[in-house]
Amino acid sequence: MNRGTLSRRDFLKWSAAALAGMAFQPRLVWQQLTGEWPDAERLGRVTSGRVSIWSKPSAESQQLKTIYDDHIVVWLREVIGEPPGLTLSRRWVETPEGYIYAPRLQPVRYLPNEPVSDLPTGPLGRGMWAEVTVPYLDVTLHNPPARAPWLKEAQFPRLYYSQIFWIDDLRTGSDGQVYYRVTQKYGYGDILWAPAFGFRPLTREELDPIHPEAEDKRIVVNLNYQMLSCFEGSREVYACRISSGAKFDKDGNPTEKWSTPVGTMPTWRKLISHHMSGGVSGSGWDLPGIAWTILFSGNGEAIHSTFWHNDFGTPRSRGCINAAPDDARWIFRWSEPHIPYDVGEMTISMPGGTKVQVIG
């Protein structure tokens, strides 16, 4: 179960044989082979349809190339440049081919794993929590037809780096490779198969509470500064950039419908992984495997991990508090109550858990 035990050569062998390996499960619907990724420690995944690569960290420089959704690039370093158009962030990523606007690249890594030989059995039944640790994984559907909007709309359905799912079965294909069965307690009932090498089993130690002895814990979200801080009494123990509710709609018009509610609210539900859906056709969303979710408002707003953008510091959510995966994990473990591995989720009776104070 250690990461890094599959070499890139092993991965290429897997890619060459993967199509034949799908024959182990006759109900699978073949989509697309996962591609080869650049051999580098840090990578970036295009998240926003298409992006341009520029000669300098500025949209006023020479445009060198256009790349599209899920293209993987080598991430050399992050630099400060000029924000394109009406955007706020000045962060750019330097790649070997030029510069890409950072909010449109998800930071990812290629960290393959040795598949488990068997799944444990515990209070949640047979299975384990696992995190995607490669840029993306193409999936196949075990129980067609597709039900979830994200599966219906995606040409090539994929799971992405940092998403977390419950794995409840495993099979070995005719290619000798192992595939995990991916499920969610909440959602539309779709069951998926994906290559096991892309999942890292979570350990119980990773969910151990942080500073469980501390008193008077509270989370403060500053909408003006797009910052989240964790306090123990008057002492700030953690801080990170976030993205709160968007101030403009998809057409660029000012809107209040996605505002993050202001006030002091109790944590009322926590989930290691959650399937979130909302909105209406054309402006809705449907996202599985959202990790480290902390619900704090009656309308469903939550603090949670985010894999579909890298624009922290800019209001752009549908009311929730978007956080980078590592930040969301820390906040989840630190906030009360503690959610053990073998529980996975909890609805918290009043007066609730750690208070979330949103100020604007």
The per-residue pLDDT for range 27-42, each reduced to its tens digit, is 333 333 445 789 899 9
What is the reported pLDDT for 174?
81
User: Residue 270: beta bridge partners?
Assistant: 294, 346
Span 166-190, pLDDT tens digits: 999 999 988 888 999 999 988 999 9
Strands (E), 57-184: 63-68, 72-74, 77-80, 91-95, 98-101, 105-108, 121-122, 125-126, 128-132, 136-138, 140-141, 158-160, 164-172, 178-183
Residue with tokens 């290619």: 175
Q: Which residues pair with 276 in a beta bridge?
A: 287
Rounded-to-10 torsion of CA 189, 194, 197, 200: -10
Place of tokens 């008077």: 216
CB atoms within 10 A of CB 263: 11
**What pLDDT is attached to residue 255?**
74
Query: What confidence score (pLDDT) does residue 35 get?
Result: 56
Write out the DSSP string of 31-44.
--PPPP--SSSSEE
Confidence (pLDDT) at 273: 98
The amino acid present at 182, given as its one-letter code, is V
Q: What is the DSSP letter of 248?
A: B
Helix count and strand count (H, E) for the chain: 3, 28
Q: Report the percentage of the chain scoring pLDDT > 90.
A: 77
Q: Is residue 287 within 8 Å of 157, Cβ to Cβ? A: no
Q: Enter the tokens of residue 190.
A: 């779709």
Between the CA of residue 223 and those of 163, 227, 262, 334, 357, what are the distances in Å?
26, 7, 9, 21, 11
Q: From CA 93, how far away is CA 300, in angstroms rounded?
A: 33
Mean pLDDT computed over 268-289: 80
The C-alpha atoms of residue 228 and residue 243 are separated, in whole angstroms, by 9
Residue 246: pLDDT band with limits 50, 70, 90: confident
Residues 49-89: tens digit of each pLDDT: 899 999 999 999 999 999 999 999 999 999 999 999 888 89
Q: Is 285 helix (H, G, I), strand (E, B) or coil?
A: strand
The model's confidence at residue 279, banded by pLDDT at 50, 70 and 90, is: low
Q: pLDDT tens, 91-138?
A: 999 999 999 999 999 999 999 999 999 999 999 999 999 999 999 999
Residue 317: CB partners within 8 Å, gap ≥ 6? 243, 244, 245, 246, 258, 260
pLDDT of 21 above 80: no
